[in-house]
Amino acid sequence: MEITVKTGNLLHEPSDLAMLATFEDAALPSEVTDLLEPKDFRGKANETLLLYPRGAAAPRRLLLVGLGKREAVSAESIRRASATAVKEARRLQVAAITVAVNGDLPLDAEVAGQAFAEGLDMGAYRFARYQTGLANEQTFLVERATVFSQTVERTRRGAAAGQTTARGVNFARDLVNGPGYALTPAVLGEEALALGKRLGLKVTVLDKAQLTEQGFGGILAVGKGSINEPRFIVMEYGEPKKGTPTICLVGKGLTFDSGGLSLKPPDAMETMKSDMGGSAAVFGAMQVVAETKPSLHVVGLVSSAENMPSSNAYRPGDIVKTLSGKTIEVLNTDAEGRIILSDALFYAQRYKPDAIVELSTLTGAIIIALGAHATGMMGTDQSLVDRISRAGELSAEKVWQLPLWDEYHAMVKSEIADLKNIAGRAAGSITAGAFLAAFVGDFPFVHLDIAGTAWVDRPAKSYDVHGGTGVGVRLLAEFLKGYV
Ligand code: BES
Ligand code: MN
Ligand code: ZN
């Protein structure tokens, strides 16, 4: 979408659809109050009202969107109001909209500009490439938005940043929404090469022969049962330099998780094309990094495989020798994410990173714990955990920490190998995190379990749409921005 920022009064500028975001506790201008019964619209968060000013104000249509109380307003309020405006524009087939806040917004102008742009571009997202004969409303593109602001320069700078982030989010969503047969590990590898070529990242993709030669036993074991062979993907921005922090972003890239021989029941398998949501977040974040060029060295690492049952699949009882040399007793082939991630996390150590941040749709147990409202977080270094928490607040991608105490590490020890890949139902998300931590050495490490947040069936937030959410991209973008 083309986003313009300028000064002026939204009510005095002609527009086919103007969105005025309003506080619950601030007076509306008389042009608006004249059009309305006050009790019909109070400005509560997410409340909307569509008005037809008929000359009482310049816009043809005026959409009021509530922001709630002024003191409780955040960037997230603006993000949601903007997305609501886009969705209404699409419904009404309006190609160019105007948006503004009524009264003083208690936010930094750059932060607000970013939130406007993120809401507009995330709200405009659709995954329509497999639909035919769509009604215009569904294919309609909102092409332009004008944001009215009194601090144009800062708002404009924020909007540019927001558009970059939203593009990263939508890229991640496209990857997640791609069906398993179309988005195989090989295709994910090609996506990485294309991204590298487009934006100047150094990209290496290891195929099965190279994985075998170099000993990526975890990825190979999980990928064995599928004709779609596994890949390991390295995307590098910047280079190691004294004084420049090195950050490794690691993603789980299961392009489809059937469970393998420990086959999932049909209901649980329905959305398992989204089991590469962690890798999608890494792709989206690497795109943002390549476009914003921070003074960092950022390495994206993705383990990608398809988990399938077949006569060649890995079995319960198998013992897998990973890249690290550590062995894993496989008791359930559906706990495959931690196995392929073990190789990527060990690989990350070669960069001597200041931080390893790993994202994976790892456990159903995290959905039991936190629902769809927050990403589970575990870490070995509290200052890194705190940085991610802060990024979670700034991006409104909620994260919630769970402990990684010694007792949990003890639970994943095997009788006959170094580790076992399941440890019972109790503390299922934490034992998975403890398992991963065995492969990062002493490097600061955070694990983000996005099983509950990477996919949404019926969106609760106006900027989400059915399917992949692109969770992690905004979080990582804020984290990296704050790291410099
Ligand atoms: N990809 C799943 C986790 C998942 C579940 C993601 C639901 C998104 C929604 C993962 O590979 C898995 O199957 N985990 C098992 C682990 C168990 C066998 C210890 C699970 O959570 O049931
Ligand atoms: Mn699984
Ligand atoms: Zn999985």
Per-residue confidence in pLDDT tens, the chain, 484 aa: 999 999 999 999 999 999 999 999 999 999 999 999 989 999 999 999 999 999 999 999 999 999 999 999 999 999 999 999 999 999 999 999 999 999 999 999 999 999 999 999 999 999 999 988 877 777 889 999 999 999 999 999 999 999 999 999 999 999 999 999 999 999 999 999 999 999 999 999 999 999 999 999 999 999 999 999 999 999 999 999 999 999 999 999 999 999 999 999 999 999 999 999 999 999 999 999 999 999 999 999 999 999 999 999 999 999 999 999 999 999 999 999 999 999 999 999 999 999 999 999 999 999 999 999 999 999 999 999 999 999 999 999 999 999 999 999 999 999 999 999 999 999 999 999 999 999 999 999 999 999 999 999 999 999 999 999 999 999 999 999 999 8
pTM, to two decimals? 0.98
Give the distance (Å) from ligand 2 centre to CA of residue 362. 7
Give the distance (Å) from ligand 1 centre to CA of residue 383. 28
Atom 7, ligand 1: which residue's CA is nearest? 364
Q: Which residues of 176-214 are buried (b: 16+ CB within 10 A; e: fewer)?
A: bbbebeebbbbbbbebbeebbeebebebebbebeebeee
d(CA 360, CA 397): 15
Element (H, E) at 224: none
Chain centre to alpha carbon of residue 332: 28
Report the interhelical angle of 382-395 vs 473-483 (nearest 10°).
120
d(CA 56, CA 222): 65
Ligand 1 atom at minimum distance from 422 CA: 19
Structure tokens at 139: 């294919």
Backbone angles phi, psi at 121, to 5 degrees: -75, -35
Q: What are the residue ranges spanned by the domains of the chain?
A: 2-149, 169-483
Alpha-carbon dihedral of residues 290, 291, 293, 298, nearest 10 degrees? -30
Matching residue, tokens 């929404």 = 177
Structure tokens at 136: 């215009």
Active site residue 156: no
CATH number attached to the domain at 2-149: 3.40.220.10
Which of 167, 338, 420, 481 does the annotation list as catalytic?
Answer: 338
Mutate to test the pocket of ligand 1, among 255, 336, 363 (most ligand atoms within 8 A of CB): 363
CATH number attached to the domain at 169-483: 3.40.630.10
Q: Other CB atoms closer than 10 Å to residue 51's CB: what's the count?
A: 18
List, in sequence order, the alpha helices (H) in 151-207: 152-177, 185-199
d(CA 11, CA 19): 10
d(CA 241, CA 375): 32
The answer to whether the CB of 349 falls within 8 A of the CB of 235 is: no
Mutate to test the pocket of ligand 1, among 362, 420, 469 (most ligand atoms within 8 A of CB): 362
Give the distance (Å) from ligand 2 centre to CA of residue 451. 11
The answer to whether the CB of 390 falls within 8 A of the CB of 450 is: no
Give the distance (Å) from ligand 2 centre to CA of residue 335. 5
Report residues whose beta carbon is within 6 angstroms of any ligand 1 atom: 257, 275, 332, 334-337, 361-365, 422, 428, 451
Active site residue 264: yes
Atom 17, ligand 1: which residue's CA is nearest? 335
For residue 64, give the amino acid letter. L
Residue (of 283, 444, 435) closest to 348 by Cα position: 444
Give the distance (Å) from ligand 2 centre to CA of residue 338. 9
Atom 13, ligand 1: which residue's CA is nearest? 334
Alpha-carbon dihedral of residues 214, 226, 448, 265, nearest 10 degrees? -150
Q: Give the CA distances from residue 197 to residues 231, 236, 240, 274, in Å, rounded to whole numbers and listed in that order.
A: 18, 12, 20, 25
